Amino acid sequence: MPTPEWIEEEVRHILPDADVTATDLTGGGDHFHLRVVDTSFEGMTRLTRQRVILARFKEHIPHTVHALDIQALAPSQAEAVGANVFHPHGGGQGAHVKSIQRRMEREARE
């Protein structure tokens, strides 16, 4: 069963100096959130950054890694963006998007 440590190690194979944090979202070893901060991401689109990471996991998706929610950031962005972990099965099938809810609440107030 994949562990957060295994995920982090795999990322370090391709990005040795990255700041990597993997979180097992369900405790089941198949849904992970992954936060990666690396200088090489500077100037890359979000999609390109994900492709760099996903290429490493290609053979493991969708088995044994069912879901990999990725936050790939350049160091300059990492400070601005907090660690925002999304739980895919948080509220039954209704995914809950805290930040979107916050934004909508804010807009409703204004």
Q: Nearest 5°: CA angle at 74, between 77 and 78?
A: 35
Residues with Cβ within 8 Å of residue 11, at least 6 apart in sequence: 18, 20, 22, 34, 36, 53, 56
Counting contacts by CB under 8 A, is residue 4 touching other proteins?
no
Counting contacts by CB under 8 A, is residue 78 touching other proteins?
no
Counting contacts by CB under 8 A, is residue 87 touching other proteins?
yes
In single-letter form, the type of residue at position 103 comes to R
Counting contacts by CB under 8 A, is residue 44 touching other proteins?
no
| DSSP bridge pairs for 31 | 67
* Residues belonging to the chain: 110
Residue spans of beta strands (DSSP E) within 50-94? 67-73
Counting contacts by CB under 8 A, is residue 99 touching other proteins?
yes
Listed ranges 7-15, 16-24, 36-44, 60-68: which one lies at the site for other proteins (CB under 8 A): 60-68
Listed ranges 2-10, 13-21, 36-44, 84-92: which one lies at the site for other proteins (CB under 8 A): 84-92
What is the binding site for other proteins (CB under 8 A)? 46-47, 50-51, 54, 57-58, 61-62, 67-71, 81, 86-90, 93-95, 97, 99-100, 103-104
